[in-house]
């Protein structure tokens, strides 16, 4: 097997890995402050892709307005819209469940997943609709020296990495981030110091949701947009989160990237196992390091 093939698959794997990283980062950030796992995270990723698709292809057909929202506009608008949905979910529903067992938050967001997935299944084919809005400037391939790689995918990798590391920097190295960490450490004490913890919680949930939405927009030109795209992905991301442990932001990012890479390489060496390799790795981690690779059990 040529080194080119392996490198190509590794890069494609990294491409999947940045999506894992962005989603598990969002899950970890939300889990840190709210102590819940957002099952609807996958649905929000799907929602992001669909809003971009509808904005580009269906506005005139459905609403009679002859506006087309391009890729670049979507890249900004969609995370804001999905984040707004996150605000509504947190304020109206999740907020009332904080005093209960945390599994109720998981069950609630599972219900929201079913609603979103069912809604889009009514109007769109399960096998997927292509997103035609990939900008002209990102089409074609780039010569990386050892291989040619699609420009758009390279762009998606770089942008996702920038967003992930910016988030890490913000949380770990800015004043606002230190307040957030204080809220994670001890919400009551933080509130006693005059910080608005409920607002922080809302914004954190919205931020995580927006991150999922952004991942959805980035994924739209690569994969066809389907009502099931989020559900398939989120279960893998759960395994990523179990492997990495949700104790650290950097841990979530790195384990996402690494597992995407491993999945990509599995496609080269033993294709049938590509869809399950992450789950088997999770089993190994559970056996030998139950708290996760970067884990601090909460």
Partner 1 sequence: MTNRILFILMLIAGLTAPFFAYPVFVMDLLCFALFACAFNLLLGYAGLLSFGHAAFFGGAAYITGYVTKEWGFSPLLGILAGTGFTLILGGVFGFLAIRRQGIYFAMVTLALAQIIYFLALQLPFTGGENGLQGIPRGELFGFIDLNNSLTMYYFVFAIFLIGFGIIHRTIHSPFGEVLQAIRENEARALSLGYDVDHFKLLAFVISATVAGLAGATKAIIFQFAALTNAHWQTSGEVILMTLVGGLGTVFGPVIGAITVGALSHELSAFGSWVQVILGTIFVVCVMVFRRGIVGEIQRLVNRKQN
Binding site for partner 1 (CB under 8 A): 31, 35-37, 93, 96-97, 100-104, 106-108, 110-119, 121-122, 231, 235-236, 238-239, 241-242, 272, 275-276, 279-280, 282-283, 286-287, 290, 297
Judged by CB, which is closer to partner 1: 73, or 106?
Answer: 106
Range list of H helices, 246-298: 249-269, 277-288
**Distance in Å, CB of 39 to partner 1, minimum:** 9
**Distance in Å, CB of 138 to partner 1, minimum:** 33
- Nearest-5° angle of CA 225, CA 226, CA 228? 140
**Distance in Å, CB of 217 to partner 1, minimum:** 24
Residue the block writes with tokens 């607002």: 199
Q: Which residues have a Cβ under 8 Å from the Cβ of 203 and sit 6 or more positions away?
A: none
Q: Which residues have a Cβ under 8 Å from the Cβ of 231 and sit 6 or more positions away?
A: 42, 43, 46, 113, 117
Judged by CB, which is closer to partner 1: 193, or 289?
Answer: 289
Task: Evaluate whether 17 touches 254 at the Cβ level (below 8 Å).
Answer: no
Query: What would the two tokens of residue 234 be?
Result: 């989120």
**Distance in Å, CB of 117 to partner 1, minimum:** 6
**Distance in Å, CB of 70 to partner 1, minimum:** 29
**Distance in Å, CB of 139 to partner 1, minimum:** 34
Range list of H helices, 93-246: 103-123, 151-173, 175-185, 187-192, 197-219, 229-244
Task: Evaluate whether 180 touches 204 at the Cβ level (below 8 Å).
Answer: yes
Of residues 216, 204, 157, the one with CA closest to residue 176: 204
**Distance in Å, CB of 241 to partner 1, minimum:** 7
Judged by CB, which is closer to partner 1: 59, or 235?
Answer: 235
- Nearest-5° angle of CA 215, CA 217, CA 223? 90
Of residues 212, 209, 220, 200, the one with CA closest to residue 133: 220
Residue 123, number of CB atoms within 10 A of its CB: 12
Judged by CB, which is closer to partner 1: 76, or 96?
Answer: 96
**Distance in Å, CB of 201 to partner 1, minimum:** 17
Judged by CB, which is closer to partner 1: 141, or 286?
Answer: 286
Task: Evaluate whether 204 touches 33 at the Cβ level (below 8 Å).
Answer: yes
Cα 259 to Cα 261: distance, rounded to the nearest angstrom: 5
Judged by CB, which is closer to partner 1: 7, or 119?
Answer: 119
Judged by CB, which is closer to partner 1: 80, or 114?
Answer: 114
Task: Evaluate whether 257 touches 278 at the Cβ level (below 8 Å).
Answer: no
Judged by CB, which is closer to partner 1: 196, or 275?
Answer: 275
């Amino acid at each position: 097997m040529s080194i080119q093939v392996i490198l190509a698959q590794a890069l494609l794997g990294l491409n999947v890995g940045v999506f894992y990283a962005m989603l598990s980062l969002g899950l970890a950030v939300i889990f840190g402050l709210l102590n819940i796992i957002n099952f609807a995270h996958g649905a929000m990723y799907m929602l992001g892709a669909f809003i971009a698709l509808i904005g580009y292809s269906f506005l005139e057909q459905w609403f009679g307005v002859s506006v087309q929202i391009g890729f670049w506009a979507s890249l900004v608008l969609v995370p804001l819209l999905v984040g707004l949905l996150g605000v509504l979910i947190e304020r109206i529903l999740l907020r009332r469940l904080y005093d209960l067992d945390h599994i109720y938050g998981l069950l609630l967001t599972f219900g929201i997943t079913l609603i979103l997935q069912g809604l889009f299944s009514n109007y769109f084919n399960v096998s997927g609709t292509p997103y035609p809005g990939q900008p002209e400037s990102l089409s074609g391939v780039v010569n990386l020296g050892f291989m040619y790689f699609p420009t758009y995918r390279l762009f998606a990798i770089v942008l996702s990495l920038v967003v992930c590391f910016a988030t890490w920097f913000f949380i770990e190295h800015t004043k606002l981030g230190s307040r957030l960490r204080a809220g994670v450490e001890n919400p009551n004490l933080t509130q006693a110091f005059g910080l608005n913890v409920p607002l922080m919680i809302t914004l954190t949930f919205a931020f995580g949701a927006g991150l999922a939405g952004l991942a959805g927009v980035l994924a739209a030109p690569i994969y066809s947009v389907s009502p099931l795209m989020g559900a398939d992905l989120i279960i893998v991301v759960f395994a990523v989160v179990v492997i990495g442990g949700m104790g650290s932001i950097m841990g979530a990012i790195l384990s996402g990237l690494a597992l995407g890479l491993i999945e990509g390489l599995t496609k080269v060496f033993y294709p049938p196992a590509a869809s399950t390799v992450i789950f088997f790795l999770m089993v190994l981690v559970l056996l030998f390091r139950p708290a996760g690779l970067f884990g601090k059990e909460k």
